[in-house]
Chain A
């Protein structure tokens, strides 16, 4: 995944919110990243530091909240945990799964001053 573009997306959101909420510095950024979102967390940290340089979020701490991959199994009629987009159902081995969680890529919260 192109973590650089994502980090730029994060910065846009921070800068929009700096204008709207009137803050000068961001101390901590909480991102919610789903396990199925295809984001490489280490690459994200690296790009984050580079992209935030010279911005309100320069040197900000990055906290990543990982959300588990979840899918609805049509055969079990139950929510099951999955590790990858093409996983089969861990209960019945079936492939009729619809991903219901773990795709998130969101900026959740900021600690600012």
Chain B
């Protein structure tokens, strides 16, 4: 993925910047121009809490180019507290310890290997939750 695209999408990747739909009040991630729930114009930026739980997971042994040095790793579908679901790697946990329903929280980590141009991509991953809700 090119540098301009990584720059454009840094808000959602570093801090889970999403939206709240002004028409139907649903949370949206990532930001869209049109609400996927009601098809009306999507609305103001709202940052998600980063707290959620594992909806599903897989430990991958054959990984794409650019991810070799982390292999094998576990990717999960994380259902966020506000509603949206995201695809992300799990971190700070043994692959065998992951389970559906596990409570997780967002952290920022290096997503993939350095490219030939030396570009390092950071973004969200999820780890088992350390803090309980206040």
- The answer to whether A and B come from one shared complex is no
Residues of B within 8 A of A (CB): none
Residues of A within 8 A of B (CB): none
